[in-house]
């Protein structure tokens, strides 16, 4: 579920406030007033964490709190924008949604990083919401440079958008909750009956049911051909409140409690008097008015369906028989000799073995990596999530109409603090992350964890009758976990000793489920009145390869069966061979992984062959969860022109500063007319020895079954992609590792043992020392931006729902 909460709806019935669906850009005033003195950039660096100073500053670093405050104040000074502070704004005001760094143009960046070029200026991408108009819209603006001076300018971000003036229409600027509530109250007796509730007052309604629905909104022409904006909402039951020792919680399982009742409303325009109910759906029967519904209900023989109630089954706590020996402490990773990588905390710069890279963090897409170098040579300029779509289907309009574009909600806001010993080993290095939305800067304590771990299998091994040789597979993981509503996405980048980098995404958390009635074509019945709602996850990642420079080519090395007549044999042989084919133009830039994986996809610099004449390169291939998946639906009625990044397994385009991202956070507002239309990136550009970008999808086809209750498990809902050196070096670099052994033996005895200088572990590990007190877990830290109040950060952990 990604819908706005009833709490917010209730607030908005009292005071009209702008209510975009996302809490991270929602007016935060309803949050409690508790504030404490907390350092927003607190880290848990210990004396044992080796440090380093990056030779160049992190030019992709998130806006600082001061920078964000500066640009927000600057924008408020621009009278033509007619901005109102978020704190004071209503739906008919113009407000600032998000400010984030506009990354420097790549040529400027490389000039600084690689030579003596000046450090690029800091520019800002500001997303503004224009409510003071009959046709509200969002618009992206460029502001810079910052810190603001008299030189600072601002203008629409037209070069980074395929939409006119970088504008996108907003059709849900106003709050429609009263519409749904009023319609519901008209049939409160029916609701009480069919949903087995006691609804007398609007308070009863709002304390029993959460009413929300399709995302994105639909458009359809009326009989005169005029565009109408359609909303379908469904009823969801609130889980019971569970009293705990010192507080109470509600398990977050509301998305397991659909009630099977749906309302269709026309919410076109900004005049509430023009809005109205269009229909009702219950038990797969459609009624075009409340009256029709009532008439049917009054008939004897009206079929009532079962109801979903909360209860223990939606809780995630330990349940069922405790298994033999399970309670005793299980195996755990320890780091006996301290951290083996170096961090420049200020620059979020990491050095591990022969890899170096910078980290940054954005509101839209969370953690990102820049300037990944291996053995001193850049291999990737930029690596990070672009967009995540979760596309549902069902016999009811709410499931059918759900196709979340999750960067709308943002991965940054929900990259909550990780739990030591659970989300990461106890010894992990923690990095805080910050984003700026709704004129509030928030920091996640330990939003990113960085740690080495033994991968539980070797990286190299060989044995024979005389000796055995084995090398440990120690890898570095950089992890961030974002809970976007019901789902927890675990993102990680894993660096290996052979020069490989793996991108992995896993999903846990609650499924968004469907009502069971007549839904069998779209999922399994999994509880009393519940069906798993089939959906596809497609998560698009950008990888801007720079293999030995920016001039690269994608080459497929294809393995193919072939009958061949050789000069050394009279008979034709049925064998195989390999041929090469280049992806020469964006006209051929949309691709799927080959059947039986017979295509090797290699990114090379053709101008830089190795000493044997082979172009040096990196191969990219799916690594976990089967082949990299993409959407089943090619032309979704929900996503329209906003699914271009998800209809193939991977894409190659020519890199352009004007094509920074495959999607926009605001495409969800009007998917037919997106701010960023990925399809338009494909305009026939040459791809041979150009600065190219690959965009690949990870994902899962998910038809939830009973095993998804109460939560989906990460272990089977994962997808990975690995890039690996391919004729890049002259031999396997893991041979540099000293964490290997060679044992020579005869039938009589072990004769020689070599450990290559690797230092044996010594001493004791005091488990009490490495233990962690869960009572020290805190959520996020927020700092008010307008008016700027940096001396008063406050705890503020906020989730969707």
- Asked if 741 touches a copy of itself (CB under 8 A), the answer is yes
- Asked if 238 touches a copy of itself (CB under 8 A), the answer is no
Q: Which of 150, 151, 271, 317 binds a copy of itself (CB under 8 A)?
A: 317
**Binding marks (x or -) toward a copy of itself, 205..234, rule CB under 8 A?**
---------------x--------------
Q: Which of 170, 267, 474, 687 binds a copy of itself (CB under 8 A)?
A: 474
Smallest gap from residue 137 Cβ to a copy of itself (A): 25
- Asked if 77 touches a copy of itself (CB under 8 A), the answer is no
- Asked if 797 touches a copy of itself (CB under 8 A), the answer is yes
CB under 8 A: which stretch of 79-87, 349-357, 379-387, 547-555 binds a copy of itself? 349-357
CB under 8 A: which stretch of 187-195, 294-302, 628-636, 655-663 binds a copy of itself? 628-636
- Asked if 495 touches a copy of itself (CB under 8 A), the answer is no
How far is the C-alpha of 258 from the C-alpha of 281, rounded, in Å? 13
Q: Which of 252, 344, 439, 691 binds a copy of itself (CB under 8 A)?
A: 252
Instruction: Please list every residue from 664 through 703 that binds a copy of itself, using CB under 8 A.
Output: 701, 703
Instruction: Please list every residue from 86 through 125 that binds a copy of itself, using CB under 8 A.
Output: none
CB under 8 A: which stretch of 111-119, 422-430, 653-661, 684-692 binds a copy of itself? 422-430
- Asked if 14 touches a copy of itself (CB under 8 A), the answer is no
CB under 8 A: which stretch of 153-161, 430-438, 464-472, 684-692 binds a copy of itself? 464-472
Contacts of 228 (CB under 8 A, 6+ apart): 219, 220, 221, 222, 266, 268
Residue number with CB closer to a copy of itself (153 or 578):
578
| 3-state SS class at 267 | coil
Do 263 and 233 form a contact (C-beta atoms < 8 A)?
Answer: yes
Element (H, E) at 9: helix 6-14
Structure tokens at 255: 């998305």
Q: Which of 636, 663, 664, 671 binds a copy of itself (CB under 8 A)?
A: 636
In Å, what is the CA distance from 787 to each residue of 68, 88, 126, 130, 792? 12, 11, 17, 20, 12
Q: Which residue has the tokens 């779509």?
A: 389
406 assigned to active site: yes
- Asked if 461 touches a copy of itself (CB under 8 A), the answer is yes
**Binding marks (x or -) toward a copy of itself, 588..617, rule CB under 8 A?**
----xx-xxxx-x---------x-xxx---
CB under 8 A: which stretch of 199-207, 269-277, 291-299, 461-469 binds a copy of itself? 461-469
Q: Which of 525, 551, 584, 679 binds a copy of itself (CB under 8 A)?
A: 525
- Asked if 44 touches a copy of itself (CB under 8 A), the answer is no
CB under 8 A: which stretch of 76-84, 129-137, 360-368, 523-531 binds a copy of itself? 523-531
- Asked if 321 touches a copy of itself (CB under 8 A), the answer is yes
**Binding marks (x or -) toward a copy of itself, 553..572, rule CB under 8 A?**
----x-xxx----xxxxxx-
Q: Which of 16, 453, 548, 608 binds a copy of itself (CB under 8 A)?
A: 453
Residue number with CB closer to a copy of itself (84 or 473):
473
CB under 8 A: which stretch of 56-64, 87-95, 111-119, 629-637 binds a copy of itself? 629-637
Q: How many residues does the chain have?
A: 801
Q: Give the alpha-carbon dihedral of 77, 78, 81, 82, to 10 degrees.
A: 40
Smallest gap from residue 344 Cβ to a copy of itself (A): 14
How far is the C-alpha of 446 from the C-alpha of 431, rounded, in Å? 5
- Asked if 448 touches a copy of itself (CB under 8 A), the answer is no
Kindly tell me the burial class for residue 345, based on how many C-beta atoms sit within 10 Å of its own C-beta (0-12, 13-18, 19 or more): middle
Q: Which of 172, 488, 659, 677 binds a copy of itself (CB under 8 A)?
A: 488
Long-range residue pairs from 251-254, CB within 8 A, at least 24 positions apart, any chain: 251/310, 251/314, 251/315, 251/316, 251/710, 252/486, 252/509, 252/510, 252/799, 252/801, 253/310, 253/314, 253/315, 253/510, 253/710, 254/1, 254/210, 254/801
How far is the C-alpha of 772 from the C-alpha of 424, rounded, in Å? 12
Do 553 and 659 form a contact (C-beta atoms < 8 A)?
Answer: no
Contacts of 724 (CB under 8 A, 6+ apart): 498, 499, 500, 618, 619, 621
CB under 8 A: which stretch of 80-88, 133-141, 149-157, 508-516 binds a copy of itself? 508-516
The closest alpha carbon to 661, from 275, 366, 311, belongs to: 366
Residue of 381, 404, 429, 487 marked catalytic: 487
Do 473 and 458 form a contact (C-beta atoms < 8 A)?
Answer: yes
Smallest gap from residue 342 Cβ to a copy of itself (A): 7
Residue number with CB closer to a copy of itself (144 or 397):
397
First vs last C-alpha separation in the chain: 7
Residue number with CB closer to a copy of itself (245 or 273):
245
Q: Which residue has the tokens 């507002």?
A: 669
487 assigned to active site: yes
- Asked if 159 touches a copy of itself (CB under 8 A), the answer is no
Q: Which of 154, 293, 496, 786 binds a copy of itself (CB under 8 A)?
A: 496
- Asked if 42 touches a copy of itself (CB under 8 A), the answer is no
Residue of 93, 364, 396, 406 marked catalytic: 406
Instruction: Please list every residue from 261 through 280 that binds a copy of itself, using CB under 8 A.
Output: 262, 264, 279
The closest alpha carbon to 85, from 74, 69, 96, belongs to: 96
Bridge partners, residue 443, by sequence: 434, 781
Count of residues interacting with a copy of itself (CB under 8 A) = 229
Q: Which residue has the tokens 């490989």?
A: 500
Bridge partners, residue 382, by sequence: 370, 544
| DSSP of 559-621 | EEEEEEE-TT-SSEEEEEEEEEEEE-BGGG-EE-PPGGG-EEEEEEEEEEE-TTSPEEEEEEE
Provide the annotated active-site residues.
406, 487
């Amino acid at each position: 579920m990604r819908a706005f909460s009833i709490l917010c709806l209730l607030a908005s019935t009292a005071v009209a406030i702008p209510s975009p669906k996302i809490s991270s850009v929602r007016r935060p005033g309803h949050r409690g007033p508790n504030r404490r003195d907390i350092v927003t950039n607190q880290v848990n660096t210990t004396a044992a964490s080796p440090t380093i100073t990056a030779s160049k500053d992190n030019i992709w670093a998130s806006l600082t709190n001061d920078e964000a405050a500066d640009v927000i104040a600057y924008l408020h000074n621009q009278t033509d924008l007619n901005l109102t502070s978020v704190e004071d704004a209503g739906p008919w005001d113009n407000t600032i949604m998000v400010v984030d760094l506009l990354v420097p143009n790549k040529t400027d960046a490389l000039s600084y990083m690689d030579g003596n070029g000046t450090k690029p200026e800091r520019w800002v991408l500001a997303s503004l919401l224009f409510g003071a108009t009959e046709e509200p819209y969002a618009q992206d603006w460029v502001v810079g440079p910052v810190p603001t001076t008299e030189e600072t300018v601002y203008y629409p971000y037209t070069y980074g958008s395929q939409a006119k003036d970088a504008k996108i229409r907003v059709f849900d600027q106003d709050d429609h909750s009263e519409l749904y509530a009023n319609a519901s109250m008209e049939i409160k007796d029916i609701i009480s009956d069919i949903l087995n509730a006691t609804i007398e007052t609007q308070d009863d309604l709002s304390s029993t049911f959460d009413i929300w629905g399709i995302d994105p909104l639909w458009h359809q022409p009326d009989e005169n051909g005029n565009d109408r904006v359609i909303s379908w909402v469904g009823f969801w039951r609130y889980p019971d409140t569970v009293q705990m020792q010192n507080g109470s919680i509600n398990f977050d399982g509301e998305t397991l409690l659909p009630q099977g009742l749906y309302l269709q409303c026309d919410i076109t325009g900004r005049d509430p008097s023009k809005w109205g109910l269009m229909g009702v759906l219950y038990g797969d029967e459609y009624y075009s008015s409340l009256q029709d519904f009532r008439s049917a209900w009054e008939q004897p023989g009206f079929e009532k369906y079962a109801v979903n109630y909360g209860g223990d089954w939606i809780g995630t706590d330990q349940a069922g028989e405790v298994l033999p020996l399970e309670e005793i402490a299980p195996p755990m990773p320890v780091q006996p000799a301290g951290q083996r990588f170096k961090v420049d905390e200020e620059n979020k710069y990491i050095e591990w073995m022969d890899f170096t890279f910078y980290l940054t963090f954005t509101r839209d897409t969370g953690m990102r990596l820049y300037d990944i170098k291996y053995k001193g040579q850049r291999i990737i300029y930029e690596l990070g999530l672009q967009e995540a779509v979760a596309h549902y289907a069902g016999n009811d309009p709410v499931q059918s109409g759900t196709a979340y574009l999750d960067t709308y909600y943002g991965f940054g806001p929900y990259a909550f603090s990780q739990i030591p010993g659970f989300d990461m080993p106890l010894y992990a290095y923690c990095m805080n992350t910050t984003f700026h939305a709704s004129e509030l800067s928030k920091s996640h304590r330990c939003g990113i964890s960085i740690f080495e771990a033994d991968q539980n299998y070797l990286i190299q091994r060989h044995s024979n009758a005389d000796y055995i040789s084995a090398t440990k597979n120690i890898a570095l993981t950089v992890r961030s976990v974002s809970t976007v509503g019901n789902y927890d996405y675990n993102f990680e980048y894993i660096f290996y000793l052979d020069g490989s980098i793996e991108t992995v995404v896993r999903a846990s958390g609650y499924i968004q489920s469907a009502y069971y009635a007549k839904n069998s074509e779209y999922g399994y019945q999994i509880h009393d009145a519940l069906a798993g709602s089939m959906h596809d996850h497609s998560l698009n990642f950008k990888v801007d390869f720079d293999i030995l420079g920016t001039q690269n080519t994608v080459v497929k090395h294809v393995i193919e069966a072939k009958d061949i007549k050789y000069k050394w044999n009279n008979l034709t042989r049925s064998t195989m061979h390999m041929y090469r084919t280049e992806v020469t133009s964006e006209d051929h830039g949309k691709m799927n992984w080959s059947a039986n994986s017979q295509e090797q996809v290699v990114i090379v610099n053709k101008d830089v062959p190795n000493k044997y004449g082979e172009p040096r390169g990196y191969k990219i291939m799916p690594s976990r969860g089967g082949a990299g998946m993409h959407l089943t639906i090619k032309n979704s009625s929900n996503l329209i022109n906003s699914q271009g990044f998800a209809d193939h397994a991977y894409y190659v385009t020519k890199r352009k500063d004007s094509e920074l991202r495959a999607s926009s956070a605001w495409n969800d507002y009007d998917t037919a007319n997106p701010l960023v239309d990925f399809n338009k990136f494909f305009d026939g550009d040459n791809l041979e020895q150009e600065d190219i970008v690959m965009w690949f999808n990870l994902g899962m086809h998910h038809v939830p079954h009973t095993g998804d209750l109460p939560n989906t498990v990460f272990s089977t809902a994962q997808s990975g992609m690995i890039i690996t050196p391919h004729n890049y070096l002259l031999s396997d670099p893991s041979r540099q590792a000293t964490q290997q052994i060679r044992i020579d033996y005869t039938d009589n005895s072990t004769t020689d043992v070599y450990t290559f200088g690797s230092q044996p572990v010594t001493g004791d590990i005091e488990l009490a020392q490495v233990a962690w007190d869960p009572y020290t877990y805190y959520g996020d830290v927020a700092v008010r931006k307008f008016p700027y109040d940096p001396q008063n950060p406050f705890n503020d952990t906020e989730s969707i729902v």
